[in-house]
Copies of this chain bind each other. A is one copy, B any other.
Amino acid sequence: MADAIERFMEEIEPLLIEQRRKRHQYPEIGFAEYVTTYELSEQLAGKGFEIFYGTDLLTSDERMGVPDAQFLEQQEQRALDYGVPPDFLEQMKGGHTGFAAVLDTGKKGPNFAYRFDIDALPIEEEDTPGHVPAKQAFRSRVPGMMHACGHDGHAAIGVGLAQYLAKEKGHLRGKYTILFQPAEEGGRGAKAVVDKGWLDDADYFLSGHVGIHDLPSGTVAASTSKFLASSKINAKFNGKSAHSGLEPNTGRNALLAAASATLHLHGISRHKDGATRVNVGTLHAGSGRNIIADQALMEIETRGETNKLDEYMQENALRILQASAAMFDVELEIEHMGKAISADADPRFAEIVERACEASTDLAIVPYLPIGASEDVTYMMERVRERGGKATFMIFASPLPAGHHHPRFDYEEQALSAGLETLIRTTDYLLKEDGGREELAG
């Protein structure tokens, strides 16, 4: 059957590339992936999958950092203008994007779950000849938006996996659930999907990320850990405006409070127990040059190598924000916008994936590479492992001209093939080995 997989990979490669580039040109940010959801689900139509949208996919209240209503309405209008059918849009309205595709073979066998995240970032993509998407004419067509983290490729792998499952349906046992998750950036979507129960009965959970390590494409890490736990908060300072020339002392300066908070947040002490992070990613304050600023809005995140370390960071961050408000006699509002936890892949996947891919000529499996970033996939992994299932998160490495979230971010598309092939071979291996479950449990 190894030959069969190789042949499938050859056939599927053009689709993978086409799908990746299509997604790359229409980047949409979290909870606004209206066109993305529509076009991806169109790819799966008629292939035997049952599709679940909207509040069937995720619990509305468990989403975090949902954009405001006005923005979503604009985006929904954009989707209609683009050609998404009104009745299709209806079920996604108000930021209920993404979908689950379920293939139930009806035969006894293990439950597999796969997750692909599909959102983009508010970054203006570089437009220079050295940037491959620009040179090869699939650069982002949406000003200020970019697939700068590789989720375009994740979506493409998801489509490729669906093609494989549909094609091999007759040979398969068990149930296969592909989750196209919205709003991974900022850790905003996964928890709402988990809350809906999609991971409750998964025996095997397979997922992964393209890039991360600048290694030859074809290199795949069977597992990772060192997921940073992360908290996302918005801080809003409310002061009082005044004419900055006539009576500066009567104002209460929200911009200064935010500036002070920023410096102090970045100065939170390192922790003896491991890696931590903090970032004030955006700061918007003030209404005019000669007006004491009465408002300032900051988007902040903290991270920690463990959940405890992230709590340490968050506790310090909140104290600093309150003290900054007190420093300038302004009011503070805090809003919690997203969260990712720390989690571990099942360590035995190292051996499983290695054996599963022995037959491949294109893959170089390494047992483990650290991730060192946050991913809300950890909510899914945790749920699977709590329920007795096995979960891993792979890394599909690629040479990287620039880091993730950089305007020049890109990767080699062979990494997508490598990722898809690894997922397929691992599925195939687990299935053959009498469900593989016993082996893992051993």
The chain A residues found within 8 Å of chain B, CB to CB, are 121-124, 144, 185-186, 212, 228, 230, 232, 241-251, 253, 255-256, 258-260, 262-264, 266-267, 269-277, 279-293, 296, 299-301, 303, 312, 319-320, 322-324, 326-327, 329, 337, 372-374, 403-407
Contacts and interface: CB of A to CB of B under 8 A. Distances in A.
The 4 closest A-B pairs by CB, nearest first: A282-B286, A244-B279, A281-B289, A323-B327
A243 B228 CA distance: 13
B290 A185 contact: yes
A276 B277 CA distance: 12
A123 B4 CA distance: 66
Contacts of A258: 259, 283
Contacts of A280: 255-256, 259, 286, 293
Contact of A327 (B253, B286, B324, B373): B324
Contacts of A244: 277, 279, 281, 301, 405
8 contacts: A230-B245, A232-B289, A243-B403, A247-B403, A255-B281, A281-B289, A291-B405, A323-B323
Output the residue of A272, A301, A326, A374 with the most chain B CB within 10 A.
A272
Q: How many copies does the complex hold?
A: 4
A256 B248 contact: no
Contacts of A296: 283
Chain B CB within 10 Å, residue with most, of A269, A272, A284? A269
A339 B354 CA distance: 45
A210 to B, nearest CB: 13
B299 A242 contact: no
A288 B409 CA distance: 15
Contacts of A272: 246-250, 372
A380 to B, nearest CB: 19
Given A266-B256, A283-B285, A326-B323, A406 B242 contact: yes
B284 A284 contact: yes
A269 B287 contact: no
A238 to B, nearest CB: 12
